[in-house]
Amino acid sequence: MREINLGNITTQRLDSRDNRNLNEDLRHANFPGRGMFVDFKDNSAVSLWQSSSGFCTLMTVKPWHDQSGGQGAQLAFTENGNMFIRSGGWSGWSNWRQIQLVGTSPLNQSLGATETLAETEDKQKRGFYMDLYRKYQAAVNYGEIMRCAEVDQFIKRLKNKDWTAFNEIPKTLLYFKGEI
């Protein structure tokens, strides 16, 4: 096991406390002073309804011993591999927000992420192309606008996944923005 040096604390691990049934705010005695605290929690005790029933490891960051240091934050790691974050803590916590992972690293695969960032961006661009193509064709077919060679070429480049076309959006397309 590798030794970790945390300033004046040297440890080989960070233990979690078992207070599974508590949902404390930052004024609670379980969060003395300032620092990072790790707890074993029942998901329902900390209102983590988005996750499956069960347990999570909850990491709480308390920036200062009182409110003058700002809000705290909590990061929950659930047993089904999801991560959630919330902030606040002095008079209550905000709602949980799920952290979405993208990529193909072993960590992301084990957490269920199946798309790389490039694949996600490719889908978004493809969706933009399909929507633009459909609206442009309909506007031309209904006589609302005239066919434009510059826009036709732009759409053709997008159809062929030439995403560099986004760097050269035709000015005529900008006039159609309200319609397309």
Please, how many CA atoms are within 13 Å of residue 116, restricted to the half-sphere of its CB?
6
| Average confidence score pLDDT of the chain | 74
Distance of CA 125 to the CA centre of its chain: 19
Q: Is the pLDDT of residue 3 over 60?
A: no
- Those residues whose C-beta lies under 8 Å from the C-beta of residue 140, and which sit 6 or more positions away, are 146, 147
Contacts of 39 (CB under 8 A, 6+ apart): 16, 17, 18, 19, 20, 30, 57, 58, 60
C-alpha to C-alpha distance for 121 and 127, rounded to whole angstroms? 10
pLDDT of residue 153: 82
User: Quick one: average pLDDT of 2-27?
Assistant: 72
Angle at 146 between CA 141 and CA 149, to 5 degrees: 110
Q: What global pTM score does this model have?
A: 0.51
